[in-house]
């Protein structure tokens, strides 16, 4: 088995490659045009934690070409993430806040300025980016373990990653008492026809079944396993991303053998 076979799902599909530009004598190779699909692919690899050298290998490019492109894109990407759906997202945040009236909130992927600042009685913010002035500056996956161990609970937890925060779901559902908001960055895999992640996490084996409502059903089951009834109040599908607002109720367990 070759390296290509092991990592083949990460290599850029050939149909996403751009044409080669004519070499004006400035570079050793003929530079290849970046297509929108290739840019999306590069950003997807970045979000999965690959470095520029690894990304270059998967795009069949020189590392320098990738690092220049990623630098240019990084500004654009962080500025444009929320743009198309920002207004609708904050509108539904507001509607949901008035529905559940949370007093204590954990904003687990807060960004530089938490939406909840000044809106709730007690706010705990977190972001892995050390330059952001958040209450915690930790990887969410680890932080939730620490908070759960300490016995913390919150009326509302907002889970708003760039990609998927699947690893945090169980503990966040346990710690949230009235509501949990989950952004499903994994919806972005659909445009690349990638099923590996959703197959493993949600049992989705077919592109036609790759829908936010099927993922929501699986998250509801995670809730049940943690003795919480998750009621989706809003399921908002945006471009390459969905955001789901769940109300939480304690589950009444009536079976004799449940502890």
Ligand X SMILES: C[S@@+](CC[C@H](N)C(=O)[O-])C[C@H]1O[C@@H](n2cnc3c(N)ncnc32)[C@H](O)[C@@H]1O
| Residues at the interface with ligand X (CB under 6 A) | 81-82, 109-111, 115, 126-129, 139-140, 160-162
Q: How far is the CB of 127 from ligand X (least distance, A)?
A: 5
The rounded distance, in Å, linking the Cα atoms of 175 and 96 is: 18
Of residues 12 and 168, the one with the C-beta less far from ligand X: 168
Q: How far is the CB of 115 from ligand X (least distance, A)?
A: 5
Of residues 100 and 128, the one with the C-beta less far from ligand X: 128
243 phi/psi in degrees, rounded to 5? -135, 130
Of residues 12 and 242, the one with the C-beta less far from ligand X: 242
Q: How far is the CB of 141 from ligand X (least distance, A)?
A: 6
The closest residue (CB) to ligand X is 111
- The dihedral built from the CA positions of residue 175, 181, 185 and 191, taken in this order, carries a sign that is positive
Asked whether the beta carbons of 140 and 128 are under 8 A apart, the reply is yes
37: helix, coil or strand?
A: helix
Write the DSSP string, 171-200: HHHHHEEEEEEEEEGGGGGGGGT--HHHHH
Strands 154-159 and 122-125: unpaired
Asked whether the beta carbons of 133 and 155 are under 8 A apart, the reply is no
DSSP bridge pairs for 20: 32
Strand order, beta sheet including 122-125:
122-125, 104-107, 154-159, 176-184, 241-250, 228-238
Helices 52-59, 36-47: inter-axial angle, 10-degree rounding: 140
Of residues 140 and 180, the one with the C-beta less far from ligand X: 140
Q: How far is the CB of 100 from ligand X (least distance, A)?
A: 18
Q: How far is the CB of 252 from ligand X (least distance, A)?
A: 33
Of residues 111 and 232, the one with the C-beta less far from ligand X: 111
Q: How far is the CB of 96 from ligand X (least distance, A)?
A: 13
Of residues 32 and 92, the one with the C-beta less far from ligand X: 92
Of residues 160 and 186, the one with the C-beta less far from ligand X: 160
232: helix, coil or strand?
A: strand
Q: How far is the CB of 241 from ligand X (least distance, A)?
A: 9
């Amino acid at each position: 088995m070759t390296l290509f076979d092991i990592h083949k799902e990460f290599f850029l599909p050939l149909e996403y490659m751009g044409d080669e530009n004519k070499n004006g004598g400035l570079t050793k190779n003929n530079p290849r045009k970046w297509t929108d699909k290739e840019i999306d692919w590069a950003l997807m690899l970045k979000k999965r934690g690959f470095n520029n050298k690894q990304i270059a290998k998967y795009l069949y490019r020189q590392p320098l070409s990738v690092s220049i492109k990623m630098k240019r894109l990084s500004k654009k990407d962080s500025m444009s993430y929320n743009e198309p759906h920002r207004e609708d997202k904050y509108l539904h945040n507001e509607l949901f806040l008035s529905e559940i009236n949370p007093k204590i909130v954990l904003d687990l992927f807060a960004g530089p300025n938490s939406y909840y600042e000044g809106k709730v009685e007690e706010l705990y913010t977190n972001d892995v980016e050390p330059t952001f002035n958040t209450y915690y500056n930790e990887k969410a996956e680890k932080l939730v373990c620490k908070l759960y161990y300490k016995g913390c609970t919150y009326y509302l937890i907002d889970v708003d990653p760039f990609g998927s925060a699947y690893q945090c779901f169980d503990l966040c559902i346990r710690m949230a008492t009235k509501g949990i908001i989950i952004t499903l960055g994994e919806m972005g895999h659909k445009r690349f026809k990638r099923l590996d992640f959703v197959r493993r996490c949600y049992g989705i084996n077919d592109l036609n079944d790759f829908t936010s409502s099927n993922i929501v059903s699986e998250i509801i089951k995670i809730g049940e396993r943690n003795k919480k009834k998750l009621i989706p109040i809003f399921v908002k599908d945006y471009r390459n991303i969905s955001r789901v607002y769940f109300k939480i109720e304690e589950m009444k367990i009536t079976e004799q053998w449940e502890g």
